[in-house]
Chains A and B, each alone.
Chain A
Amino acid sequence: MDNNGITPRLSLAGITKAYPGVLANDDIHLNILSGEIHALLGENGAGKSTLVKIIYGVLKADSGTISWNGKPLEIASPQAARKLGIGMIFQHFSLFEAMTVTENIALGMPGRQNMAELAKKIVDVSQKYGLPLQPDRHVHTLSVGEKQRIEIVRCLLQDPKLLIMDEPTSVLTPQEAETMFKTLRRLAEEGVSILYISHKLDEIKALCHKATILRGGRYIAECDPTKETAKSLAEMMIGTNLTAPRHMDNSDRGPVRLKAHNLSLESTDQFGVNLNLLNFEVRTGEIFGIAGVAGNGQVELLQALSGEKTLENTDELLLDGNPIGHLGPVARRKRKIAFVPEDRLGHGSVPDMSLVDNAFLSAYRTKNLLSNGLINSGKTRDFAEDIVAKFDVRTAGVDHTAGSLSGGNLQKFIVGREMMQEPELIIIAHPTWGVDAGAASAIHQAIIDLAANGAAVLVVSQDLDELFAISNRIAVIAEGRLSASRDINEISIEEIGLLMGGTNSIDSADNQGGAAHA
């Protein structure tokens, strides 16, 4: 418990937490000093989220000790955690879309609030720390970055001693992230401890004083990230050396397969984004990446591409020169287009139906799984088993439900189902989001192989590392507009970051006071 004679602000010892079939946390140790920015580093599934939920009182550990300023105690609820001075910024915001900024913050504070006074305090704090916010705006009208500021301000208003941030930059542009780092450094100087959860090595090296590394639910090491290299951190985090996917040769590019010409779409969702005059081409044999912070029109673009939303003007989307904007999903599949949607459970698959049924879902026509109008069960089963075998889907059998598979295995199944229909164009959303490293590299390789065999591939992803690893060309979507595409060798992360911020945005990285999206 002793850390060079200084009592840590928070100290965890022997924290263990089991779920049915999984040991999410296995004997975890962690010490955070006051004024320290401490990284919790690990892959998806390493047990980071479980651990912070235990610290924040959302979950209870099966065993282990939590000490606060040297005193062992139990954190029974988030309220108890807040009373101690622990604040938490969730990866998925705990915000209420239909309510105002002030109401949202009031909900996170104890007792009754005078709304007018609170609004004033919000403005004060947000100005002090460079986090501009308008108290009476409704949350659903705000950008993701602004939403995160609400969470941060909500914590700051309660004078936190420890601030927990779960993957805070996953929703920010690199520039927005840099601004947030300034705020965090300032807080640390004021003595606030920060537990910073991430798997982004550069960030951690730039920001954190210390890092605790988790892998597979176990404590691996504590280190000083500034003294480590990105490679050594990655090795501790991943454990094994994964083979990087083989990059493709750009000379293989063939004729244009998919062309969007001034593609526009009005969102039917009140919280959605309208697509505004998008132009791009995807050629055979290439992987075209679309980067962007979530909530900038990706959902709408994917709907327009899959045919779930048809276009008013059919000429805005051309396949091999023929208009397809008016066609629905079935007709587009008939033209050898395949789709892997963003949400695996409930969109790409039916969670409560078997893998056999889920194989039928999108492939019944291309794979001729209907005979005389009736479902050919035998053939469908064979197809499902083929996918499982070829894409190494770990399951007890194809009669088990899609919902029973792990994220990575279900993603392999869906990617497999689409690829085995031998598409000439495939559109993939967030191919490896929340997938373990092994499955991710298998999926990347499959995408690259498909393109090498002459298919056109369009990948939409938030993960820049992923896009840089597999794409030939890249464009950025921001606020429903798409940038011009650039060759992957000609563009830097910084440039992409600027594009992600959106050229029309007043809300630039410099954070002018009170700036907000129109």
Chain B
Amino acid sequence: MLRIEKRPEPAKSMVYLTPVLALFLTVASSTILFSVLGVSPIEALDNFFVEPVKDAYGVSELLVKATPLILCAIGLSVGFRANVWNIGAEGQLTMGAIFGGGVFIYLYDVDSVFLLPLMIVMGAVGGALWGAIPAFFKTKFNANEILTSLMLVYVALLLLSLLVHGPWRDPDGFNFPESRTFSQSATMPILWEGTRLHFGWILALLAALGAWLMLAKTLVGFQVKVIGAAPLAGSYAGFSQKKIIWFSLLLAGGLAGIAGVSEVSGPIGQILPSISPGYGFTAIIVAFLGRLHPVGIILAGILMALTYLGGETAQINLGLPIAVTGVFQGMVLFFLLACDVLVNYRFRFKSYGKAVS
């Protein structure tokens, strides 16, 4: 008989092994999916994972896509560690784009080195503001942050649509729902000539480094971990749960906001009604796949970025629907959560001695 038995303590090896195992299982299952869709699995996998990064430009695109994912996931991971289930990163990202991009809309004729920094700061402020609403409702009224943060995603997306269809529409844009194209001084500097890789990537790496330092070395990081793992032990030590809720939602909102502004002032270059293919939601997967650890999140962010690129490549070359990307991403998280049982539990084949002789 197969039994699941709790390990005396979590297995460290499994913490690193299960994401790999989950990926393996995802790839294995997706071969079945591809066969059902009538595509050779080998060809499909090649298109998904190899083709997009065959050349330097492909690699740069990978990092471009990974940038918002990592920024959002770093913030989310801090919250998840503290049991703060902010799932509204998509809305916080959108508000970042609105606040940061809004700076340009109103100062479009200003040519200053301070314009872009101001936009980034305002982007962070916008995202943090959107994160502050669930934090306020949670700490003041005990309202579930999962539901409030998610509802606010829809509100933010509608607000963006309202602005782009209305006051922020490009006056010379033939009535298309698009803003002006961002000027040079409102655009993220390019890091790698001839590609779209921009300064946002550096911001993502800085965010990861900062988060790592915060979690490993500072008191607030320790508080985040304790309150997430054992809230009562946290209050015993005198740590404020409310403070940590505010901290993690403001941080996640701010980072998502930076992701938003770096999208509109980076690869997109203007404000559109739709600025993200669900980065804020995929970031949830990135955070878990990266084991809520900054280094893991960088790797997971790059991997999930690859599924976006791969989805596009497979669509062009093989006619695979773009929705495959979403299924693929969902599967990764599913398998990861399933495999995680191995971290805290072990399986034992056990034969019982009969109680009756």
Touch test A–B (CB under 8 Å): yes
Give chain A's interface residues, CB within 8 Å of chain B.
Answer: 16, 20-21, 60-66, 72-75, 306-308, 328-331, 333, 339, 341, 343, 346-353, 357, 360-362, 364, 370, 373-375, 400-401, 403-404
18 further interface pairs, Cβ-Cβ under 8 Å (given A331-B238, A361-B237): A20-B8, A62-B353, A63-B354, A65-B356, A66-B355, A74-B356, A346-B232, A346-B233, A347-B230, A347-B236, A348-B233, A350-B229, A351-B230, A352-B230, A353-B225, A357-B226, A364-B219, A404-B8
A401 neighbours in B (Cβ, 8 Å): 9-10
**A65, B9: Cβ atoms closer than 8 Å:** no
Shortest CB-to-CB span from A329 to chain B, Å, is 3
**In the complex, are the beta carbons of B357 and A330 less than 8 A apart?**
no
Residue of B222, B233, B355 near A60 (CB, 8 A) is B355
- Chain B hits for A75, CB < 8 A: 355
Q: Is the CB of A63 within 8 A of B230?
A: no
B219: chain A residues at CB < 8 Å are 364, 370, 373, 375
CB neighbours of A341 from chain B (8 A): 236
Which residue on chain A has the smallest CB distance to residue B357?
A65
Residues of B within 8 A of A373 (CB): 218-219
Instruction: Produce 1/0 per residue, B1-31, CB < 8 A to A.
Output: 0000100111000000000000000000000
The interface residues of chain A lying within 8 Å CB-to-CB of B217 are: 374-375
**Chain A residues with CB below 8 A from B222, complex form:** 357, 360, 375
Docked complex Cα distance between A60 and B356 (Å)? 11
- Report B176 CB to chain A, min CB distance, Å: 51
B230: A residues at CB distance < 8 A: 346-347, 349-352
Say if the beta carbon of B235 comes within 8 Å of chain A: yes
**Identity of the chain A residue whose Cβ is nearest the Cβ of B354 in the assembled complex:** A74
A329 contacts B233, C-beta separation under 8 Å = no
Give Cα distance in the complex from A75 to B216, angstroms. Answer: 51
Q: Report yes or no: B235 in contact with A329, Cβ–Cβ below 8 A.
A: yes
B141 within 8 A of A: no
In-complex Cβ contact of B218 among A308, A349, A361, A374 (8 A): A374
Least CB distance, B294 to chain A, in whole angstroms: 17
A64 touches B236 (CB 8 A): no
CA gap between A360 and B217 in the complex, in Å: 12
Which chain B residues lie closer than 8 Å to A362 at the CB level?
236-237
**B225: A residues at CB distance < 8 A:** 350, 353, 357
Quick one: closest B residue to A308, CB to CB? B235
Within 8 Å of chain A (Cβ to Cβ): is B114? Answer: no
Report Cα–Cα, A65/B357, bound state, in Å.
7
**Can you list, as one digit per residue, whether each of B334-357 has a CB less than 8 Å from chain A (1) or not (0)?**
000000000000000000111111
Q: Determine the chain A residues whose CB is within 8 A of the CB of B5 once the complex forms.
A: 20
Contact B238 A63 (CB under 8 A): no
Interchain CB contact under 8 A, A329 and B355: no
- Asked if A350 meets B226 with Cβ closer than 8 Å, knowing A64-B355, A73-B356, A329-B238, the reply is yes
What is the CB-to-nearest-CB distance from A368 to chain B, in angstroms, rounded to a whole number? 13
Ordered by A's residue number, 8 sampled pairs between the chains whose C-beta atoms are within 8 Å are: A74-B355, A308-B236, A347-B236, A352-B9, A352-B229, A353-B229, A374-B217, A403-B9
Q: Are B236 and A348 in contact (CB under 8 A)?
A: yes
- Docked Cα-Cα span, A435 to B225, in Å, equals 28
CB distance from B21 to the nearest CB of A (A): 21
Closest to A403 in B: B9
The minimal Cβ–Cβ distance linking A474 to chain B, given in whole angstroms, is 26
Which of A20, A62, A403 is close to B352, meaning CB atoms less than 8 Å apart? Answer: A62
* Interchain nearest-CB distance for B197 vs A (Å): 33
A65-B5 Cα distance, complex, nearest whole Å: 25
CB contact list, B305-357 vs A, under 8 A: 352-357
Q: How far is the CB of B333 from chain A (nearest CB, A)?
A: 22
Residues of A within 8 A of B352 (CB): 60, 62
Nearest residue in B to A363 (C-beta to C-beta)?
B237
In whole Å, how far is B325's beta carbon from the nearest beta carbon of chain A?
34
Contact residues in B for A361 (Cβ distance below 8 Å): 226, 233, 236-237
Which B residues lie within 8 Å of A66 (CB)? 355-356
Q: How far in angstroms is the closest Cβ of chain A from B236?
A: 6
For residue B218, which residues in chain A have a CB less than 8 angstroms away from its CB? Answer: 373-375
Q: A346 CA to B236 CA in the complex, in Å?
A: 10
Most buried by B among A306, A346, A350, A370: A350
Q: Which residues of A contact B355 (CB under 8 A)?
A: 60-61, 63-66, 74-75
Which residues on A sit within 8 Å (CB–CB) of B226?
A: 350, 353, 357, 361
> Which chain B residues lie closer than 8 Å to A328 at the CB level?
238
Min CB–CB distance A234 → chain B (angstroms): 32
Task: State the CA gap A72–B355 with chains docked (Å).
Answer: 9
What A residues does B237 contact at CB under 8 A?
Answer: 329-330, 361-362
Residues of B within 8 A of A343 (CB): 232
Chain B residues with Cβ under 8 A from A63's Cβ?
353-355
**Given A61-B355, A62-B353, A75-B355: A352 and B10 interface contact (C-beta under 8 Å):** yes
CA A75 to CA B354, docked complex, whole Å: 11
Q: Shortest beta-carbon distance, B229 to chain A, in Å?
A: 5
Q: Give every chain B residue within 8 A of A357 (Cβ-Cβ).
A: 222, 225-226
The residue among B5, B226, B230 with the most chain A CB atoms within 10 A of its own CB is B230
Residues of the B chain whose Cβ atoms lie less than 8 Å from the Cβ of A62: 352-353
How far apart sit A61 and B236, CA to CA, in the bound complex (Å)?
40
Q: Most chain-A CB neighbours within 10 Å: which of B222, B233, B356?
A: B233
Residues of the A chain whose Cβ atoms lie less than 8 Å from the Cβ of B356? 65-66, 72-74
Kindly state the separation between the CA atoms of A341 and B232 in the bound complex, as whole angstroms.
10
The CA-CA distance from A308 to B236 in the complex, in Å, is 6
User: In the complex, what residues of A have CB within 8 A of residue B216's CB?
Assistant: 375
